[in-house]
Chain A
Amino acid sequence: MFNKEKLEQMKKAHKEWENTVTKAVAKRPERKKEFETSSGIAVKRVYTPADIENLDYERDLSNPGDYPYTRGVQPTMYRGKFWTMRQYAGFATAEESNKRYKYLLEQGQTGLSVAFDLPTQIGYDSDHALSEGEVGKVGVAIDSLKDMEILFDGIPLDKVSTSMTINAPASVLLAMYIAVAEKQGVSSDQLSGTIQNDILKEYIARGTYIFPVGPSMRLITNIFEYCSKYVPKWNTISISGYHIREAGSTAAQEVAFTLADGIAYVDAAIKAGLDVDEFGPRLSFFFNSHNEILEEVAKFRAARRLWAKIMKERFKAKDPKSMMLRFHTQTAGCTLTAQQPDNNVVRVAMQTLAAVLGGTQSLHTNSRDEALALPTEDSVRIALRTQQIVAYESGVTETVDPLAGSYYIESLTDQIEQKAVEYLNKIDELGGAAKAIEKGYIQKEIQDSAYKYQKEIEAGERIVVGVNKFQIKESAPKGLLKVDPKVGELQQKKLAELRKIRDNTKVDAALEKLENAAKGEDNLMPFILDAVKAYATLGEICGVLRKVFGEYQQSIVL
């Protein structure tokens, strides 16, 4: 890319400059002896053309919308349309959450994102003993199709796209969504949205697993297959680095472990007899946007390039859509501080900028009060406004991939990709992501990073404003959102009522068919859909599958 002669000249001049600066620094030292990114990549004082002398534009970057998609998956990016502004929300009952969704849509949000409570995510009904104290707390409680009908009441499912953070019981919630749409007169081929459906990262970092690896992978490939036929616009999985990062990984580890999981899903689907280009285009990703803006931008670019290569070279995909890494982003919850919570608005704004400069397809911005409780309506509005300000006022959206060509960004993009490749090789050696999780390898790598980060904060080597520097005396924050503790009772009452009025013979028959199918090899989606439509509860459906499949046993590593 550079004229050889000029480059040599420049290197010489730069060396002289370095020598002069080094002498000056000896007298007046810099803030730190060594500078590095979160991923442990050494950061130089300054970057020059020498740092990207091997860069080949066509091979390494290419144009936006062209392989390897480093610069973005579309040719026009935000000049065409902005990313989808999608705030993750849901709490208490379906009625309450339905109100919040309608409020967000009125405020200019362009897609829904459903948060479920923990019992729903782990396949227990609200009246299960283990649900005690958890119903409606971190998301909405959904026990049956009845709740789902209320959740989307008055929201036209052919007009909005809906993302559901649901993993182990993803097939059940997707079935409920399809059934609600049907009642609205919307056929399944018109539905657009995403289910998270990423069980491997549940084992690694998030914890809402139910079944062992084998049956879980079967459910996932069943969904791939079913949706490729009947719900073609649906993103069948959102392979998530977000929670891996929240658990403490570095940026490079986030890329590596997420793509390792991606490889495992593609492998499983191919093994199940699917063609890579049949399901490949519907795979989507979910990343974290953390504090170090430039490293984050490089991370998104590196992830796009690496996945494109993996799909093309390793899996021989032919459809360009299979090679495009499309992703949702959420700003980093773990960077929010309980101290001086308004400062979080600034953190979120910077993380938003990183996600946008990195070319995200959709974004959730966290609210300032989330280190304290679920966010209030005011806080959620500020978070949404943050996205709108970046979109409409910052000017960074007017050209595609504006940081490309920066000596530092390109060098960092290369180095993150390289580190990720090293991890992927190691994981291949261990026998793939599932095996590496079983052995606790991935968890241990993440924990080591998390512990190092915490020690740096406590040693004062890493400054968190308001936490270990610039503290003030604060009074307890006022006006936090409280979930009514009666939600549990309310859901239990609704459940008891449902069990009385539904056709229980029909329910039992549907559950029995599902059980038999689970013992065999059929695609389970149609059986789950029938059970859902008969108003079998989530807990009953997952209960049947628990009986056949057993439950995952966590490998604990410290």
Chain B
Amino acid sequence: MDRPIRVVVAKPGLDGHDRGAKVVARALRDAGMEVIYTGLRQTPEQIVETAIQEDADCVAMSILSGAHNHLFPKVVNLLKERGADDILVVGGGVIPEDDIPRLIEAGIAGIFTPGTPTSVTIDFIKNNIKRK
């Protein structure tokens, strides 16, 4: 690969808990990736727009409010509609185990719950991005 991996770290929905998103953003940056952090209260449309504009390889989203079942798949679908489904989508936050299979099926490649070391997320992104 001739350029660093580009990741859009995003906070979809109204949730304001961004400690996790920011810690992950810094860890990805320290791992040599280029990170764009969107800030709070992003709609799925805004996130997809940013990902396309920034020519991102990965969208990493964080939700702690319980709205993940609604918002994560929406981002995947919008990327598909825009022909950008080669962008890897991962998510994290307070996400009950029961919800994970459905999210994976909806096209979120990886779900990282509380306690996940950032190294796990970093390796996952490195090993799974589709653009080469």
A interface list, Cβ under 8 A from B: 118-119, 121-122, 124, 130-134, 137-138, 202, 205-208, 246-248, 334, 337-339, 371-374, 447, 450-451, 454, 457-458, 464, 467-468, 476-477, 480, 483, 485, 554, 556, 558
Contact = CB atoms under 8 A, between A and B. Distances in A.
Contacts of B23: 248, 447, 450-451, 454
Given A137-B66, A138-B66, A454-B23, A337 B37 contact: no
Contact of B25 (A373, A483, A554, A558): A558
Contacts of B113: 338
B118 A207 contact: no
8 contacts: A137-B65, A138-B65, A206-B16, A451-B26, A476-B97, A477-B97, A485-B69, A554-B40
Interface string B3-19: 00000000001111111
Nearest to B68: A133
Interface in B88-132: 94, 96-98, 113-115, 117-119
B40 A133 contact: no
A406 to B, nearest CB: 32
B65 A118 contact: yes
B43 interface: yes
Given A133-B71, A134-B65, A247-B19, A556 B26 contact: no
Nearest to B25: A558
A258 to B, nearest CB: 17
Nearest to B17: A207
Contacts of A119: 14
A246 B35 contact: no
A556 B119 CA distance: 24
Contacts of A372: 94, 96-97
A208 B15 CA distance: 8
A43 to B, nearest CB: 26
Nearest to A209: B16
A556 B118 CA distance: 21
Given A133-B67, A451-B26, A476-B98, A118 B13 contact: yes
Contact of A371 (B65, B69, B114): B114
A464 B25 CA distance: 22
A373 B27 CA distance: 26
Contacts of A122: 14, 41
A270 to B, nearest CB: 29
Contacts of B70: 132-133
Contact of A458 (B43, B94, B118): B118
Majority SS at the chain A contact face? loop
A337 B67 contact: no
A483 B27 CA distance: 33
Given A118-B14, A138-B66, A373 B94 contact: yes
Contact of A373 (B13, B40, B96): B96
Contacts of A480: 96, 98
Contacts of B94: 371-373
A121 B17 CA distance: 14
A72 B6 CA distance: 52
Name, among B66, B117, B118, the residue most crowded by chain A CB atoms within 10 Å (CB to CB): B66
Q: Summarize B's interface: helix, strand, loop or mixed.
A: loop
Given A338-B114, A454-B118, A447 B22 contact: yes
Given A133-B70, A458-B117, A556-B37, A450 B22 contact: yes
Given A450-B23, A451-B26, A480-B96, A202 B37 contact: no
Contacts of A205: 16
B35 A558 contact: yes
Contacts of A132: 70
Contacts of B32: none
A101 to B, nearest CB: 20
Contact of B22 (A206, A477, A558): A558
Given A130-B43, A134-B15, A137-B66, 10 more contacts: A134-B65, A134-B67, A138-B66, A207-B41, A208-B16, A339-B115, A450-B22, A451-B27, A454-B23, A477-B97
Contacts of A118: 13-15, 65
A207 B40 contact: yes
Contacts of B29: 558
B66 A483 contact: yes
Contacts of B40: 207, 554
A4 to B, nearest CB: 49
Contacts of B16: 202, 205-208
A248 B24 CA distance: 13
B19 A137 contact: no
Nearest to A468: B117
A483 B99 CA distance: 13
Contacts of A124: 14
B13 A246 contact: no
A246 B19 contact: yes
Nearest to B113: A338
A132 B70 CA distance: 8
Nearest to A477: B97
B37 to A, nearest CB: 6
B37 A134 contact: no
A62 B35 CA distance: 52
The 8 closest A-B pairs by CB, nearest first: A207-B16, A133-B70, A476-B97, A118-B14, A133-B67, A137-B66, A338-B114, A467-B115
Contacts of B27: 451, 454
A134 B115 contact: no
Nearest to B16: A207
Nearest to B37: A558
